[in-house]
Amino acid sequence: MSFQESIKIIPQGDVAIVEFDMVGEKVNKWNTPMMVRLKEVLGELKKSTYKAAIFVSKKPKIFVAGADIDEIKTLNTREQILKAVDQGQSIFNELEDLPMPTIAAVHGACAGGGCEFLMACDYRIATEDKSTRIGLPETKLGIIPGFGGCVRMPRMIGLQAALDVILAGKLVDGKKAEKIGLVDQVVHPGLLMEVALKKAKEVIESGGKKRKKTFKAQGAVNGILESFVGRGMVYSQAKKGVLKLTHGHYPAPLKAIEVISKTYGMSDRNRAMEIEREGFCEVALTDVSKNLIHVFYLTEMVKKNSGVANTSVKAKDVKALGILGAGTMGGGIAYVAADKGIDSRMKDINFDAVGKGLKHARDLWSKEMKKRKINEFEFKQKMSLVSGTTDYSGFGNMDVVVEAIVENMDIKKKVIAETAGQMRKDAIIATNTSSLSVTEMGEAHPRPEYFAGMHFFNPVHKMPLVEVIRGPKTSDETIATIYELSKKMGKMPVVVKDGPGFLVNRLLLPYMAEAAFLMQEGQSIEAIDKAFVKQFGMPMGPIALMDEVGLDVCVKVLKIFKKALGERVEIPAIFDKMEKSDRMGKKNLKGFYKYASDGKRLEVDQSVYSEMGLSNPTNPLSDKECIERGVFAMVNECALALIEDRIVETPHEVDLAMIMGTGFPPFRGGLLKYADTLGTQFIVDQLEVYAAKKAPRLKPSQPLKNLAKNSRRFYQ
C-alpha cells in the first residue's frame, strides 16, 4: 500500500493545503507508515516557499482518530516503546518548529494523537458539528498522552482544565474546546475551509509570524492556583480525586499527574518530552494497560459484527419503535431510542401510566439541558419523537416493538399474541424479560421467526449492555435487526442463547447469593461491599447491588435458577426472610441500606441483621476469601454456561457482557481474562478448599476441572 496518497500537499498560492486521507481505511490514524509519510511532508514544507499551511481531513467525520491501537498492542519491551514514542514526539516537534504558521482545520473526531497533532499547530479551527470531538482518551487505555500531550496541553489551556481532560480521558465538543482554549474558533462545517484560508491570509499579511499560545489565568483565584505555590494544591487535589474514584487500581492517571507536575513550566522541551516518554513507557508495560486494550478490542468487535454468522444477512432499518409498558424500563427505552432519532411510541393500560413514561424521558432530557449538553430546540425535537397511547393506534407502522410489561409469563404471552395481530407480518417483537423463557414466550407469536429477546439493563439510559436473545425459531434477520438497533441506540449488544438468566444474570446471581452466605457466616455488609469495591474494583458491592436490582427480584430469579439448574443452586436462608419482608431495596427506599427520598444510598440499616435472623457481625473471614468465593462462583458458573450450554460462543462475549452489564472492573480485562491471569488450576484448587469447608455449591464444575486438568485457559 502506497502512503503517498494518504497525506498530500495541495498548493493554493502561498498556502499549502495538507490533506489527510488514509488509503484503505475509514479513519485517519497514526501508524508507522502514516508517521513516515507525515515526516516526509513536513520536510517538504520546511524546504518550500509556502507562507502558511492548513491541515485538513478528507474523511467524512474524522480528523485523526489517534494512534493505531494495533501497533500499541505489539509494543512489549521498554526499548520498543521508547523508540516509537520518541519518533512520534520528534515528528510533532518538527511540526511545531516549521518556519511557516500552521492551521489545523478540524471536522470530526480528533482524539489522542490527533489532539496532540492539533496542539503542535499554531492556530486551531473546529466545526460545531456533533461529530467534532477533541481530547486525550489515553488513560482509558491505561496509558498517558505520549506525543507531547502531557507537555503541551497544560501550557495551552491551563493546569486545571488540562488535568480535567487528561485524567478523565475526556473528549469535548467544538464549543467546549473553544471555551477552554483548545481551539481558537468554532465554525459551521460548510465554512471550515473558507475560514481557515481567511485566517492563513490574515497571518501572512500580518508578517507570517509563528504563534506560541500560552495560558493566562483569568481572575485572582485561578492566578493563585496556576502559581508555583498553588500548583502543589492542584496536584494534591487531583491525586485525591483519582484515588477516590479508582482506589489506586488505574496507574495511568496518577502517572499523568506526576509527568505534568514535573514538566509544567519547564523551558527545556527535550527534557520535558523525555519525562513524558519515560512515564508513557512505565504505564504501557503494565497488565492494566494490556487489559484495557483488550477491552477496547471487545468494543471494536461489536462495531464490526452483525450478530449473526451469515454475512449475507442484512438488518432491517428501524425507523419506528413501539414499547409495550411505560414504566421506568419502558420510559428509559423510549428515551434512548428517541435520543438517537428513532420515533418511539409507548402503550400502557391507562394515560396515567403513559404519562409516567413520558415524564421519565422528559426528566432525563431536562437534566441534559441543565448541563448544557443539549439546547431547548434539541430538547423539543427529541420530545417530539416520543408519543403515548392506550390502544394499538400507530402500531401498524412499527418496525420493532419491545415488550416491557410485568414479569408474568401468561400475561406476556397474551399481550404478544395480541400485539402481533396489530402489526405488519414482517415486523419484529422483542421481549425485555430478565428471567422468563424466550422460547416459551415465542410460542405465543404466530410467526416466531420474528420474535426474540432484547434485554436492557436498569437504568436503561446508563447501562450500555443489551442481551439479544435467540429463541429456537428466531431468524438470522431478526437477530441482525435487533443487534443493529441496539447499536443505533448507543448500546453494546451481545447475542445469547435462551436459558435461565441468559448470561449476565446467570453469572451474577451466584455472586450475590454468595455474598448472602458471607453475611450468614458473620461478615458485615460494610466489610463485604468494601472488599469488592476498594480491593477488587467493582463499582458497587454485591449487597448494594442486591438493593439496586431489588431484593424481591433476587429471590424470584434465584428460585427460577433453582428450579432450572437443580441441586447445585443453594438458596441462602436470609432469602426466605427477604421474601417475607417488606424490604425491596432501592425501589421502596428500604433494603440492606437506608436511602434518602431521592434514592441516594446512605449507611447500612443495622436493624437488618436481627430482622434477617442474623447475630451481630464479627467479620471472621478474610477479604481474600470473600472476594474469591464471590468471583470464583461466577467463573465456575461461566464454565458451565460457556463450555457446556454454549449460552454464548466465545469468552470475548462473556467479558464484554460482564463489563458492560455489571461494571466488572475493566482494568482486570473481564471475568474470564481475570480467570486466565490467575490460572484455572488455582481457581479449581481454591474452590475445592472452600467447598470442603463451606458447602457443595462451591465445588468446581466439570468443565472448569477439565480446563485445569489440561492446563488450558478460557482464551486459547
pLDDT at 221 over 70: no
| Strand order across the beta sheet in which 465-470 lies | 386-389, 343-347, 320-324, 400-403, 428-431, 451-456, 465-470, 492-497
Per-residue confidence band for 165, with pLDDT thresholds at 50, 70 and 90 = very high
What integer best gives the mean pLDDT of the chain?
95
pLDDT, position 217: 54
For residue range 247-256, what is the model confidence (pLDDT) as tens digits?
Answer: 999 999 999 9
What letter would DSSP give residue 710?
T
pLDDT, position 696: 85
CATH number of 320-498: 3.40.50.720
pLDDT at 522 over 70: yes
pLDDT at 224 over 70: no
pLDDT, position 693: 87
Pick the CATH number of 505-585+611-709 from 3.30.1330.100, 1.10.1040.50, 1.10.10.60, 1.20.20.10: 1.10.1040.50
Distance CA 118, CA 123 (A): 8
For residue range 370-379, what is the model confidence (pLDDT) as tens digits?
Answer: 988 899 999 9
How far the first Cα of the chain sits from its last, in Å, is: 32
Q: Which residue(s) pair with 466 in the sheet? A: 456, 493
pLDDT at 229 over 80: no
Distance CA 389, CA 357 (A): 11
* Sign of the dihedral defined by the CA atoms of residues 111, 115, 118, 120, in that order: negative
pLDDT at 223 over 80: no
Q: Which residues are catalytic?
A: 455
Give the residue-averaged pLDDT of 671-698.
95
Give the residue-averaged pLDDT of 409-415.
97
Distance CA 497, CA 438 (A): 9
pLDDT at 219 over 60: no
pLDDT, position 211: 78
Burial class (CB in 10 A: 0-12, 13-18, 19+), 673: buried
pLDDT at 177 over 70: yes
pLDDT at 1 over 60: no
For residue range 279-319, what is the model confidence (pLDDT) as tens digits?
Answer: 999 999 999 999 999 999 999 999 999 999 999 999 999 99
pLDDT, position 566: 85
Sorted by where each begins, the domain ranges of the chain are: 7-285, 320-498, 505-585+611-709
Quick one: cell of 55?
491541515
Contact status, residue 503 vs residue 648, Cβ threshold 8 Å: yes
CA dihedral 117, 119, 120, 121 (to 10 degrees): 100
Coil/strand/helix, residue 109: strand
Give the residue-averaged pLDDT of 497-511.
95
Percent of the chain with pLDDT over 90: 91
What letter would DSSP give residue 77?
S
Contact status, residue 297 vs residue 673, Cβ threshold 8 Å: no
CATH topology agreement for domains 7-285 and 505-585+611-709: no
pTM for the predicted model, two decimal places: 0.93
Per-residue confidence band for 246, with pLDDT thresholds at 50, 70 and 90 = very high
Give the residue-averaged pLDDT of 567-585.
91
226 against 463, higher pLDDT: 463
pLDDT at 218 over 70: no
pLDDT, position 372: 85
For residue range 421-462, what is the model confidence (pLDDT) as tens digits?
Answer: 999 999 999 999 998 999 999 999 999 999 999 999 989 999
7-285 is classed CATH 3.90.226.10:
yes
For residue range 87-117, what is the model confidence (pLDDT) as tens digits?
Answer: 999 999 999 999 999 999 999 999 999 999 9
Per-residue confidence band for 497, with pLDDT thresholds at 50, 70 and 90 = very high
Give the residue-averaged pLDDT of 326-355.
96
Distance CA 149, CA 140 (A): 15
pLDDT, position 484: 98
pLDDT, position 567: 81
Percent of the chain with pLDDT over 70: 97
pLDDT, position 215: 62
pLDDT at 559 over 70: yes
pLDDT, position 3: 77
pLDDT at 227 over 80: no
Quick one: cell of 306?
452483525
pLDDT at 220 over 60: no
Q: Which residue(s) pair with 453 in the sheet? A: 431, 469
Coil/strand/helix, residue 211: coil
Contact status, residue 164 vs residue 234, Cβ threshold 8 Å: no
